[in-house]
Structure 1
Amino acid sequence: MVVRGAKFSRLSPQVAELKSFTRAAQALDTTQSSISLRIKRLEEALGRHLVERTPRQVCLSVDGVAFLEPARALVAAHRSAVGAFGRERRRLVIGMSHHVVGAQLPFLLRRVSDANPDVLVELRIEASRYVLAAFDEGKLDAAIVLQHGNRRLDGETILTESFGWVAARDFEHDPARPLRLATQPEPCSVRSMAIDALDEAGIAWTEVFLGGGVATIGAAVSAGVAVAALGLRVAPSDVIDVGGRLGLPPLPSRDVVLYASQTDVQARCLFRSVAEAIASTVSGL
């Protein structure tokens, strides 16, 4: 009874977090119709209406909200009981571009850990070109990178990243002087994309800060040191897109692509949970 209850209760946290039967089905490696049927059976067993369905999304009802935390506790207890037999944990190595992670790393790690407690995840964060090279050399089980002019077709697009010129709200630019930029050292495809756009538009620029990842570049931007070309999804929450105000050229979007060498059910579930976590952070400035 506990095992059966935990199996059905696992649906509520997934549906609540992903706000979609389709996404929940993907995360649990099943079908939307199966999720709908199992939610219906759970509601019938409880005698309560747990979810509200709208054309745009699924959300919890009042009873669903009340049920959510006990459901999470039941799932955790079930996993703990099953894990008491000392099963060997699987290890999967994932490489990810720092332009994909941004400031959402803690959120992403929690989502992945909650969805895959029996998997030891090793995460390596580097520039996209180094991540993809390591994947091709067999050093990674999966790679999540920004696609820059690469025409390879063996990956799965997670989302399309929009880029903008971000700066602190009180950032001031003197048109008589070169635009102050915060970038990454060469080689960096986002740096090249930004500089090419400025050069083509005939806008003078100068690098005043070199960072070792999106977090450090974001800190420089938040401090008002410079402008940076960043994905709007991963930019700090306290900055704005100043491209229009400063007359800067538009930046092209880039696909975020997942490459995976492991295709078994457990690996697919883990990679899907990572992809869902990244996709759920989509926002704009």
Structure 2
Amino acid sequence: MIEHPLDLDAVRAFVRIAELGSFTRAAEALQTTQAAVSLKLKRLEERLGCRLLERTPRYVELSARGEVFLKDARDLLEMHDRALAAFARARQRLAIGISDHVAGPELPALIARMNAQDPQLLIEIRIGSSGDLLQSFDRRELDTVIVRLHAGRNDGELVTEEKFGWFAAPHWQHRAGEPLPLATMAEPCGVRALAGQILDAAGVPWTEIFVGGGVTAVAAAVTAGLGVAALAPRMLPFGAVDVGRRLNLPELPRLPVLLHTRIKDGRPRDALAALSAAFRGAVRG
């Protein structure tokens, strides 16, 4: 029994010499030198413990043992190449978490752009709050997350910054003397926390009138005329208007969109670059 595996490069060199009948032509086919091919064959013969080729200054031909080994060598190389081809065709999976405050109505177009970048990439997307997604990322349940700035963290790659405002239904009116009614996402939403902090700092009394499980639910509450929500303009329900100036509410800052990823190179990284570029275009648009 052979104790160590065969060197596939040496096996390939042997097959080329046998097929072409020449060390020189085999070296040209393998894009290497004749000396390198000779060394590979010598080591293969030493590993097998037999002479595979008979060579003279005028010809090269298979030995009896070489004739027997040639078919097995070809089968070995074919299986190896088939395995590599199957691996290359296999879809790589990329699990991405996107904050509900980031995903927005452009998500189908963003997914399409990633697919166009690499149709063979299997994309798994989870929508949630930034805090929950970051926890999943830290538990290595997600390869990448695209989230808003989260309190207590200063890591992540800046993708873009986005303007926020105070939005309500066009005919909604704030009742004088009552706290500002806010429609928000459930904790641990970072936008919810920031909005409350800014109102508190400005001395504006407020109360939660609606808590939704996502931006779509919050937008529905705004459309229904329940109150005001802190939203990015591209997330607005149809007809909503910015009431910040009319109600003398404090200005909301531009909020960053951050990319956290363990993907450093290869096809998935190219797809992430396309996704980041698409987000920047959506925010500017």
**Normalization by structure 1: what TM-score?**
0.65
Q: Which amino acid aligns with 2:148?
A: L
Alignment partner of 2:199: what SS?
A: helix
Q: Which amino acid aligns with 1:210?
A: V
Aligned alpha-carbon RMSD (Å): 2.3
1:92 Cα shift?
Answer: 0.6
Quote the residue 1:213 is aligned against: 214
Q: Which amino acid aligns with 1:222?
A: T
Quote the residue 2:154 is aligned against: 152
C-alpha distance 118-264 of structure 1, shift in aligned 2 (>3 A): same
Higher alpha-carbon Rg: 2
Distance 2:188 2:97 in 1: 18
Alignment partner of 1:199: what SS?
A: helix
Asked if the contact 1:162–1:233 (Cα under 8 Å) also holds between the matched residues in 2, the reply is no
Q: Which amino acid aligns with 1:204?
A: P
Distance 1:98 1:211 in 2: 11
Alignment partner of 2:106: what SS?
A: helix
Asked if the contact 1:103–1:236 (Cα under 8 Å) also holds between the matched residues in 2, the reply is no
Quote the residue 1:261 is aligned against: 262
Equivalent of 2:106, from 104, 107, 111? 104
1:187 Cα shift?
Answer: 2.3
Q: Which amino acid aligns with 2:138?
A: D
Q: 5+ unaligned residues in a row in structure 1: which ranges?
A: 1-82
Asked if the contact 2:169–2:240 (Cα under 8 Å) also holds between the matched residues in 1, the reply is yes
Worse-matched range after superposition: 230-239 or 87-96: 230-239
Alignment partner of 2:246: what SS?
A: helix
**1:90-129 alignment to 2 at 5 Å?**
90-129=92-131
Quote the residue 1:161 is aligned against: 162
Alignment partner of 1:246: what SS?
A: coil
Quote the residue 1:88 is aligned against: 90
Q: 5+ unaligned residues in a row in structure 2: which ranges?
A: 1-84
Alignment partner of 2:200: what SS?
A: helix
Quote the residue 1:245 is aligned against: 246
Quote the residue 1:136 is aligned against: 138
Task: Count residues with an aligned counterpart.
Answer: 201
Distance 1:214 1:107 in 2: 18
Alignment partner of 1:103: what SS?
A: coil
Distance 1:133 1:171 in 2: 37
Q: Which amino acid aligns with 1:143?
A: V
Asked if the contact 1:104–1:234 (Cα under 8 Å) also holds between the matched residues in 2, the reply is no
1:222 Cα shift?
Answer: 2.1
Alignment partner of 1:282: what SS?
A: helix
Quote the residue 2:281 is aligned against: 280
Q: Over residues 178-229 of structure 1, what are the superposed CA-to-partner deviations in whole Å (9 max), with x where a residue is unaligned?
A: 2111011222221111111222222222222111111111121122221101
Quote the residue 1:235 is aligned against: 236
Q: Over residues 249-284 of structure 1, what are the superposed CA-to-partner deviations in whole Å (9 max), with x where a residue is unaligned?
A: 111222111111111220111111211221111158
**Normalization by structure 2: what TM-score?**
0.65
C-alpha distance 109-236 of structure 1, shift in aligned 2 (>3 A): farther
